[in-house]
Structure 1
């Protein structure tokens, strides 16, 4: 047995961990529960200063916490691959694997692809997200957000996650894709099953039902795609079914992943988290009235709040070759967890980086939406939803305050941090 393999099997730490720095902070990290899920920034600050590249035996990944190192990885697709981005974070049971094998594997999902395959599919999908198409969604977003806010505006209290940030983005993406709004709860459940199996630890006894949900989701997408082939409409699904590149159309596998995984699943969870977290920060930092008085600050506040506390917690890459990062030697095949939330608070990125400051002359280029070839396809749509919905809330809720002592129900996967609740109270007008 090679020494490096033997050492890893005995200790859980690769043999090369002793080269350069000797990582140990990574062994303390648990993204799924406790303080690292609730508020990881104190730990991230220590990581950046003491061990910016540190090995996590629990995750079997290298934690990368500095902005410069993360940017280097994101800008170097020849050295770092997305291929394992969607490798399951759960040790799947044989029964769950057998169920998932009945459907399409997670190949052809943009998030887990490398050039040139990624380049082709991204080019095709970009055509469905033109500035004109995004702007055209504004009236629908405004109507849906207004309808949701109308339901609680006179109550003087609401849970802005359950009553607004949770339902709005999924209704919007269903409208974009041409999916019946009455299917919203099924889509939400199936999306949750898929993402949990990929990015979270799932207890063995829960895996079978979740795997069945993934297969049901794929079958639903197949039926939707087949219908649009026969009955095209003015929606993004019809566009993807019809689009060609150099005479080559998307395969059924590619279509199911584009419609299901890339759009109906990934297209709303992060927007829910982003909106709710920004509203919480506005209330915690006493910024509501200022935003109400100066609406030009709303988009700037979104960018600064995204930098200050990124809910897009991290992304995963795999080293294609032996590399050195932050003074640490990392062998080919190692997985890296790029801690976007840590990198966006790096002191090298901006002055007083640990302060939420809407008066910055220019908000620095944070990592919430990624960087380079994998920059988030849905970022313009997420920003539009936030700006429209926040302005509606500023109009309708004059003096909201966080309900004291509440449990936000914060939870986190490998890549996304979310809240289950954001309870506020105000004086009805």
Structure 2
């Protein structure tokens, strides 16, 4: 269905902002925070791809892009599509919350919200510290931590795999890489949640100030960590980032706080928690736990196919730098685009019967869960390693794992990430 846009003189909308389409559209039905689009958005996404692959959401003031090829073309074109508004997409902040946040650093040096060439420089320096060798060196710790967590419930015959494994493991792993004391894990989890929710969710006014204070506390914690590593360097990623130079220029304190706090300690575990839990749930829902147990070559293939089938990183945001046309729809300069990864990865143009979780595919198509282009997920190799280790440990130790019937997964969603609060399972304990 064609979508038209009113001119500025008709609407009063500035040329740099997205104008509101005048025709009825599916985008007006989309709500990523409550209702059916949280519990299972895929039926709606299928309608979008077929009927209105590019449509406008008045609620989000964003254009929804749902086809794989359209999303990929945007991700590969940073010259026309910017990340600059990525971190200003959630809560409409109260003046009091803004005053609290103004006491700390702004988010202009967070990798997720940067464009080349500034992003290129910071990403290059960060990549040097996040090497394959450094990630591989974490394998013994991840394995030991996984076994320690599973030890706590292996004999119970029942557990919540989110609360007891997928939630604590990734944050302990990233703390280990950064060299942060593990006794600080729950403080960092809370501060991270404050930051992520203010950035990507709609938070009620009465909760904003307290969460903003949490963000400032987190930044102060990072500053103390940076100062300590300058005096007492160690073999950890924090020490590397403090010492690294680019043509003789070190990272500024602002850049370090954002790299360590927002890009590593915060973003470095939330999506992995969601990925682990959702992948295990899909394996159990689709009766594939026994097949994975008996054919370990399928374990990593299942991660890729399940990520394609139901992406927890369900969307990402870009801003049009100029007037553009996507899928035959003209979009004004300054408009924000919500790239629906979860919709694009189920596009029939990507693979046959894309709406089916199919382990018989010769090769899993390149899904969008970890992004594409200059902003491909820095932590993807670490997330894959954690999944590989934890899933194999569970297959070894809980071979007859099954879902507790009729449970409430407590699914919730921000603009960009879909998660479960619970994944309750049961099994026959070994004697």
Q: TM-score range by the shorter chain?
A: over 0.9
Aligned to 2:177: 176
How far did 1:386 drift?
0.3
Say which SS state the counterpart of residue 108 (structure 1) adopts: coil
Matched, 1:355 2:359: no
Note the alpha carbon deviations across 1:24-51, whole angstroms, 9 max, x for none: 1000000001100111000000000000
Say which SS state the counterpart of residue 62 (structure 1) adopts: strand
How far did 1:132 drift?
1.1
Matched, 1:52 2:53: yes
C-alpha separation between the residues in 2 aligned to 1:86 and 1:105?
10
C-alpha separation between the residues in 2 aligned to 1:39 and 1:111?
26
How far did 1:16 drift?
6.7
Say which SS state the counterpart of residue 262 (structure 1) adopts: helix
Note the alpha carbon deviations across 1:342-364, whole angstroms, 9 max, x for none: 00000000011000011210000
Contact 1:280 1:422 in 2 (8 A): yes
How far did 1:23 drift?
5.7
Aligned to 1:337: 338
C-alpha separation between the residues in 2 aligned to 1:14 and 1:83?
15
Aligned to 2:11: 7
Aligned to 2:144: 143
Worse-superposed segment, 88-97 or 365-374: 88-97
Structure 1 residues 304-315: aligned runs within 5 Å: 304-315=305-316
Note the alpha carbon deviations across 1:188-217, whole angstroms, 9 max, x for none: 000000000000000000000000000000
Aligned to 2:124: 123
Say which SS state the counterpart of residue 32 (structure 2) adopts: coil
Structure 1 residues 351-390: aligned runs within 5 Å: 351-390=352-391
How far did 1:91 drift?
1.0
C-alpha separation between the residues in 2 aligned to 1:286 and 1:224?
46
How far did 1:7 drift?
2.5
Aligned to 1:217: 218
Note the alpha carbon deviations across 1:205-235, whole angstroms, 9 max, x for none: 0000000000000000000000000000011
Note the alpha carbon deviations across 1:108-152, whole angstroms, 9 max, x for none: 111000000000000000011111111111001001111000100
CA distance 1:8–1:67, change in 2 (3 Å): farther
Contact 1:67 1:343 in 2 (8 A): yes
Structure 1 runs (4+) deviating above 6 angstroms are none
CA distance 1:138–1:323, change in 2 (3 Å): same
CA distance 1:85–1:23, change in 2 (3 Å): farther
CA distance 1:209–1:88, change in 2 (3 Å): farther
How far did 1:275 drift?
0.3
Provide the alpha-carbon RMSD of the alignment: 1.3
CA distance 1:211–1:398, change in 2 (3 Å): same
CA distance 1:347–1:136, change in 2 (3 Å): same
Aligned to 1:278: 279
Contact 1:99 1:211 in 2 (8 A): yes
Note the alpha carbon deviations across 1:60-89, whole angstroms, 9 max, x for none: 000000000000100000000000000141
Structure 1 residues 10-409: aligned runs within 5 Å: 17=21, 22=23, 24-409=25-410
Say which SS state the counterpart of residue 56 (structure 2) adopts: strand
Contact 1:88 1:197 in 2 (8 A): no
C-alpha separation between the residues in 1 aligned to 2:9 and 2:290?
58
Contact 1:273 1:311 in 2 (8 A): yes
TM-score by length of 2: 0.96
Matched, 1:427 2:428: yes
Say which SS state the counterpart of residue 223 (structure 1) adopts: helix
Note the alpha carbon deviations across 1:82-103, whole angstroms, 9 max, x for none: 0000014111111000000000
C-alpha separation between the residues in 1 aligned to 2:75 and 2:111?
15
Say which SS state the counterpart of residue 214 (structure 1) adopts: helix
